[in-house]
Structure 1
Amino acid sequence: MDLITQADILREEHPGCGVEKMYKTLKPQHLGRDKFCEIFMDLGYRIRTIKNYRRTTIPTHLNYPNLIEGMMVTRPYQVLQSDITYFDIEGKFYYLVFIIDVYTREILGYNVSNNMRKESNIKALKMALKQVNPSEAKEMIHHSDRGSQYGSTAYKRILRDAGIKLSMGMKAQDNAFAERVNGTIKNEYLNLWHINNLRNLQAKTKKAVEHYNTKRQHDNLKGKT
């Protein structure tokens, strides 16, 4: 199979895969990174990033401390981060919740809905906790922004019952890992597919998460928050 065909197959699975990440994935023989990038940029494989502007945080009056500031994350299931983002389909907004493991960067839980109510976050949290051993959960921190969904009684009860500590940041940089995943899923997958309704968005999000978790190349962040 020739290199361009391999690149096209990769782009179909991961439409926002940049040329440098494409090089790392395909590992072409007898072609260096710089030359590969030059050739494929000339062939039109450049990615255009779409900026996101809609606010998705409705702050809660509750103020929990930032427990992960300056922390070095050294193992899986030590810190979870969560955030909400939106997706626009012909002027109608839908909302996506992701919960990630900071150390592995794996998306453990997610949900897609047509509103920003706490139920969507709770579904994502329950999905994530199904993958966590109860003994590990008792040593875990859940970090997010100060969105009202994370401060809801029902959400906090699930965390408390699992023995998970609640941590909140005051600014976007405090939740950088989760926000980066939002951008990756939207800019490398969803924004580049044709999506015309909620059911289609849910199916495409599932496809994107599966590829992100199992095939996408990840840069080494060394687990530092």
Structure 2
Amino acid sequence: MSSIITYLLTVIHYQYKQICWLTLFIAKYIPLKQWAHDDAHSPKYQKFKTDILPKVINYEIWDYNELIQYYKERYNYTVKPVNRRSECTIPEDCHCPRCSAPLPYLYKNNGSKGQILCKVCQTRFNPENKYNQPLKLRCPYCANALVHKKDRKHFIVHKCVNSKCSYYLNNLKKVDKDDQADYGKNKYKLHYIYREFTVDFFRMDLDSLPKNASSLKFSKNNAYIMSLCLTLHVNLGLSLRKTSQALKDLYNINVSHTMVANYAKTAAVVIKPFVDHYDYNVSNTIVADETYIKVRGIKGYIWFIMDAVTRSIIGYRVSDNRGVGPCIMAMAMAFRHIKKLPEKFKFVADGYSAYPLAAQQFALKDENPLNFDITKVIGLTNDDAVSKEFRPFKQMVERLNRSFKATYRCSCGYDNFDGANYAVSLWVAYYNFLRPHQSKSYQVLNPVDMLNNADNMPGKWQLLIFLGQQTILNMQKDQSA
């Protein structure tokens, strides 16, 4: 029996040596499949990365009498007043801001520099500075306190200024030796940075549209003419003036381009709640991208988030900036009906830093937090394994941008952001519920039984307006309840 065990141990030891030799051979002579993009390790692209969350330390307020009693009962230790060997220069009315310990329990911690240490709770403070930090943010790498550096429009920038922080030293090693001077290394993001948002984007209204829409009570025309205007303007991509001219030439209907704009704005206000609150049954892969538009010659942005399986637009946002705020609003619309992420969930986007920063905010939500990572498809060529695998998903949303631009170019931009909002809302409604898609055998993406009963497109627009009205009534009943 002992000989068999000895033989088996010899075989195991031999196999272990063979595995170690093969591992070393593969590591030296066989290049593994590249998974990370080469530029991802460059310090030039460090500023596009989102750092992990900081450590949050909560400083609770105590009573020094209770603490002294606790030390006595728990550890049999009595906290005695400070035994001073020289004259005390601390003001008599000074007390610990955390446990309210009086002067006999306070002494100078760093001599004449002004810092005082409480002997009861071990709190360091300066009597000249107001103690107003119940929460303290610390670097997750070196535990050093973060410094308030900058105030932005929607967030506060906190920075770790510790020159011995491991995060800083590792990033500094990647910088060229020529740039490691004081001013040269300022070109790169080397220190740990945390952005504390001062605006709660999750409490903002996602259904806002222009309030000056006209009524659906027609004095001259009727609902059919309104839906005919929508068919020419949205489905066929005609501008407001060409829509007015087409109605005159084809049907001898006199409708000004201003009235066409009023019809479109009113229809957008009514249809948008149905489109945004529709349950699209989101799959486990979502793709996002942003593209630019022109508003009176000034660059604006539109964010599209689509389901990679059904290809429906589940989130969109028009904004005048490319910050993280509009990105969070578009993602909040996409996750409106999601309480738990499906298994193997993927959120595919480009390398823009707003997406991982927005994902970090979703993980910090008080209600229904969502934890997910951003799968980045970087560049236009497949230089890494991630881009090669997920490039088809990125091409889907790029194709969506081209489809939108085809109907957007005819208007040569928008006059204001209100016009851009209602135009995009109508186009999303047409894309999700009315437009035949080649990938679906020229069927609509989201079939609705009521819309299938209509014989022509103006009739479908009228039924879509009716569905929007029913959605608004249901929302009002829920709010009243």
Sort the TM-score into its range (normalised by shorter chain): 0.5 to 0.7
> Could you tell me how far 1:107 is from its partner in structure 2?
0.5
CA RMSD between the two structures: 2.9
> Could you tell me how far 1:81 is from its partner in structure 2?
0.4
Q: Select 1:113's aligned residue among 301, 311, 319.
A: 319
- Larger helix percent: 2
Quote the Cα distance in structure 1 between the aligned partners of 2:323 and 2:425. 20
Q: Alpha carbons of 1:127 and 1:198: their partners in 2 closer, same or farther (altered >3 Å)?
A: same
Q: What are the Cα deviations for residues 120-177 of structure 1, in whole angstroms up to 9, with x where unaligned?
A: 1000000000133x2344542100000121132x433416842334211012472111
| 1:156 and 2:374 matched | no
- The answer (yes or no) to whether the contact 1:97–1:121 under 8 Å persists in 2 is yes
Quote the Cα distance in structure 1 between the aligned partners of 2:320 and 2:406. 20
Quote the Cα distance in structure 1 between the aligned partners of 2:347 and 2:396. 13
Determine the structure 1 residue equivalent to 2:379.
Answer: 171
Counterpart code for 1:209: V
Quote the Cα distance in structure 2 between the aligned partners of 1:209 and 1:172. 27
Q: Select 2:331's aligned residue among 117, 125, 128.
A: 125
- The answer (yes or no) to whether the contact 2:302–2:316 under 8 Å persists in 1 is yes
Determine the structure 2 residue equivalent to 1:141.
Answer: 346
5+ residue gaps, structure 2:
1-227, 239-280, 382-390, 442-481
Determine the structure 2 residue equivalent to 1:12.
Answer: 233
Counterpart code for 1:96: I
Q: Alpha carbons of 1:126 and 1:89: their partners in 2 closer, same or farther (altered >3 Å)?
A: same
Determine the structure 1 residue equivalent to 2:285.
Answer: 79
Which structure ranks higher in relative contact order (CA pairs < 8 Å, sequence separation ≥ 6)? 1
Quote the Cα distance in structure 1 between the aligned partners of 2:434 and 2:283. 21
TM-score (norm 1): 0.61
Paired-residue identity, %: 22
5+ residue gaps, structure 1:
1-6, 18-74
Counterpart code for 1:135: K
Q: Select 1:204's aligned residue among 403, 410, 423.
A: 423
Q: What are the Cα deviations for residues 191-216 of structure 1, in whole angstroms up to 9, with x where unaligned?
A: 23473111110111111111111111
Quote the Cα distance in structure 2 between the aligned partners of 1:201 and 1:172. 29
State the secondary structure of the residue aligned to 1:96.
Answer: strand
Count how many residue pairs are aligned between Structure 1 and Structure 2.
157
Quote the Cα distance in structure 1 between the aligned partners of 2:314 and 2:230. 26
CA radius of gyration, larger in: 2
- The answer (yes or no) to whether the contact 1:139–1:164 under 8 Å persists in 2 is no
| 1:192 and 2:449 matched | no
- The answer (yes or no) to whether the contact 1:84–1:95 under 8 Å persists in 2 is yes
Determine the structure 1 residue equivalent to 2:399.
Answer: 180
State the secondary structure of the residue aligned to 2:356.
Answer: coil
State the secondary structure of the residue aligned to 1:162.
Answer: coil
Q: Alpha carbons of 1:215 and 1:170: their partners in 2 closer, same or farther (altered >3 Å)?
A: same
Q: Alpha carbons of 1:157 and 1:90: their partners in 2 closer, same or farther (altered >3 Å)?
A: closer
Counterpart code for 1:149: A
- The answer (yes or no) to whether the contact 2:289–2:350 under 8 Å persists in 1 is yes
- The answer (yes or no) to whether the contact 1:118–1:155 under 8 Å persists in 2 is no
Determine the structure 2 residue equivalent to 1:3.
Answer: none
